[in-house]
């Protein structure tokens, strides 16, 4: 108990104030995204996420997109555990040799119509892992990627904006 108290005193307040401008931007983009998802899918958009060998930063941003600040679930985007329930496959990281078969099987298990989203620079071209001996290559060489969300890692707002731009097409 004393360790926790001492740590808290030394660290101080670690939460930060959320800029009202960011809140407004999230809300307006999110409501537009929700409207587009309802029009295109007549329900929520279900995404199955697969990490094929990333450093974990993209997953952290996906988790942040689901936190109370961004809360993308309220805009109609849900992450599912089974590819059989998914509309989209979200892939992070370069495709490592041990994840190649799993990635293909996940994609094959998804019902039609389906599409692939790549997230982060590693999924696009291998990123810092590009010339590693254990990397099969970028996702686009293995699956038909419909959307790429750039960044290392992309922020939750960048994820929302990229999905919004994609669904506007």
Q: What gap in Å lies between CA 51 and CA 58, rounded to an integer?
A: 9
Using alpha carbons, select from 143, 128, 129, 118 the residue that is nearest to residue 96.
Answer: 129
Using alpha carbons, select from 124, 38, 50, 39 the residue that is nearest to residue 86.
Answer: 50
Strands 145-149 and 115-119: parallel
Q: What is the pLDDT of residue 14?
A: 62
Instruction: Supply the pTM of this predicted model.
Output: 0.87
Question: Residues near 25 by Cβ (< 8 Å), separated by ≥ 6?
Answer: 157
pLDDT tens track of the chain, all 169 residues? 677 777 777 777 666 677 788 888 999 999 999 999 999 999 999 999 999 998 899 999 999 999 988 999 999 999 999 999 999 999 999 999 999 999 999 999 999 999 999 999 999 998 888 888 999 989 999 999 999 999 999 999 999 999 999 999 8
Q: What is the pLDDT of residue 13?
A: 67
C-alpha dihedral, 155 to 156 to 162 to 164, nearest 10°: -160
CB 112, CB 88: distance < 8 Å:
no
Q: What gap in Å lies between CA 58 and CA 41, rounded to an integer?
A: 26
Q: Which CATH number fits domain 22-168: 3.40.50.12280, 3.30.70.2740, 3.40.50.720, 3.40.47.10?
A: 3.40.50.12280
Using alpha carbons, select from 152, 154, 123 the residue that is nearest to residue 136.
Answer: 123
Using alpha carbons, select from 130, 162, 140 the residue that is nearest to residue 61.
Answer: 162
In degrees, rounded to 5, the angle at the alpha carbon of residue 62 between the alpha carbons of residues 57 and 67 is 120
Using alpha carbons, select from 145, 33, 36 the residue that is nearest to residue 88.
Answer: 145
CB 123, CB 91: distance < 8 Å:
yes
């Amino acid at each position: 108990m004393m360790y926790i108290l001492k740590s808290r005193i030394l660290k101080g307040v670690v939460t930060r104030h959320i800029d009202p401008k960011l809140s407004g931007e999230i809300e307006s983009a999110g409501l537009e995204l929700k409207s587009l998802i309802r029009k295109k899918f007549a329900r929520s958009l279900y995404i199955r996420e697969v990490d094929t060998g990333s450093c974990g930063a993209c997953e952290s941003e996906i988790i942040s997109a689901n936190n109370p600040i961004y809360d993308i679930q309220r805009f109609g985007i849900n992450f599912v555990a089974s590819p059989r329930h998914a509309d989209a496959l979200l892939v992070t990281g370069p495709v490592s040799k041990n994840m190649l078969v799993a990635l293909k099987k996940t994609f094959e298990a998804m019902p039609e119509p389906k599409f692939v989203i790549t997230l982060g620079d590693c999924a696009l071209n291998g990123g810092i892992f590009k010339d590693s001996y254990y990397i099969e290559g970028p996702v686009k060489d293995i699956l038909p990627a419909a959307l790429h969300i750039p960044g290392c890692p992309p922020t939750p707002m960048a994820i929302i904006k990229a999905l919004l731009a994609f669904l506007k097409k």
